[in-house]
């Protein structure tokens, strides 16, 4: 046995973990090799020093308790649950209550209002009309052509007025679907910008003033008038869209 093999096994030899053959091999090598003998002697001294009683302390009671608690917490849940079934049940009930409270606090205010859902739908309708190059079913700047086109296609008669004089020429009309209902989309133009005016019968008979929103970079204005809901969508700036809303509300 050479020095390297011997030194690799010295720890096991010192702890009495080697079989008889290897133990005899190492003892034979140690008798002939002062270097390995010195290493073996150092190991023995270190082992003896580590057994010195002054190195050991009894854990204080509070540390003892903390360690036992930590060890218990690290154990799997099942046996503890059996031991303290009722305590477990009450903890579960408290957790469920806390989860419910959290849901009420977080989920309910986050639920979108009807207006938000409709705003999203009219903006989608506006984008769809521009992307699909399907701005109008009846392209005409004449409200005497556009208004009768809706007859028989909808169960209401949307107001269609020509607002060219006011700077918003009529482009045409289109059927669209908002909230899975057929609605009228009357399209106007302001310079290079298109404005979709969505109209459908309102459930609310009360008139409402303008409500402004921005969705996905588009300005939206909605109001209720004469039993109809009106929703304007455009990338035209908000002040011009407000001006348009006033013109639609008071066309003469
Ligand atoms: Zn040696």
Interval 129-144: pLDDT, tens: 998 889 999 999 999 9
Residue 80 has pLDDT above 60, yes or no: no
185-194 b/e (C-beta count within 10 Å ≥ 16 → b): bbbbbbeeeb
Answer whether residue 159 shows pLDDT above 60: yes
**58 by DSSP, 3-state: which?**
coil
CA-based nearest residue to 220, from 146, 142, 119: 119
- pLDDT for 82 equals 54
**Ligand 1 centroid from CA 53, angstroms:** 33
CA of 51 to the centre of ligand 1 (A): 27
Which one is predicted more confidently, 51 or 123? Answer: 123
Query: What is the value of pTM for the model shown?
Result: 0.57
Instruction: Give the pairing type, strands 193-201 and 208-215.
Output: unpaired
Q: pLDDT-derived band of residue 115, with 50, 70 and 90 as boundaries?
A: confident
* Gap from CA of 42 to ligand 1 centroid (Å): 14
Tell me the C-alpha distance between 163 and 152, whole Å.
24
Distance from the CA of 152 to the center of ligand 1, in angstroms?
Answer: 108
Lowest mean pLDDT among 4-8, 69-73, 180-184, 244-248: 69-73
Compute the average pLDDT of residues 152-172. 95
């Amino acid at each position: 046995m050479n020095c390297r093999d011997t030194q690799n096994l010295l720890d096991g030899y010192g702890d009495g973990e080697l079989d008889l053959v290897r133990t005899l091999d190492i003892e034979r090598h140690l008798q002939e090799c002062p270097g390995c003998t010195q290493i073996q002697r150092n190991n023995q001294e270190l082992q003896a020093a580590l057994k010195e009683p002054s190195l050991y302390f009894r854990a204080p009671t509070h540390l003892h308790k903390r360690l036992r608690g930590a060890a218990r917490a690290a154990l799997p849940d099942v046996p503890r649950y059996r031991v303290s079934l009722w305590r477990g049940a009450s903890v579960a009930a408290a957790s469920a209550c806390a989860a419910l409270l959290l849901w009420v606090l977080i989920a309910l205010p986050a639920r979108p209002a009807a207006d938000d859902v409709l705003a999203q739908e009219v903006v989608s309708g506006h984008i769809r009309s521009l992307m699909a190059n399907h701005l109008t079913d009846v392209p005409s700047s004449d409200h005497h052509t556009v208004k009768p086109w809706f007859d028989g296609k909808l169960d209401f008669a949307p107001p269609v007025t020509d607002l060219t004089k006011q700077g918003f020429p009529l482009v045409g009309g289109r059927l669209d679907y908002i909230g899975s209902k057929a609605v009228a989309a009357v399209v106007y133009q302001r310079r290079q910008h298109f404005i979709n005016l969505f109209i459908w019968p309102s459930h609310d008979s009360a008139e409402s003033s303008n409500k402004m929103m921005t969705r996905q970079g588009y300005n939206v204005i909605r109001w209720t008038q004469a039993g109809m809901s009106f929703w304007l969508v455009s990338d035209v700036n908000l002040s011009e869209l407000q001006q348009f809303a006033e013109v639609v509300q008071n066309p003469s």
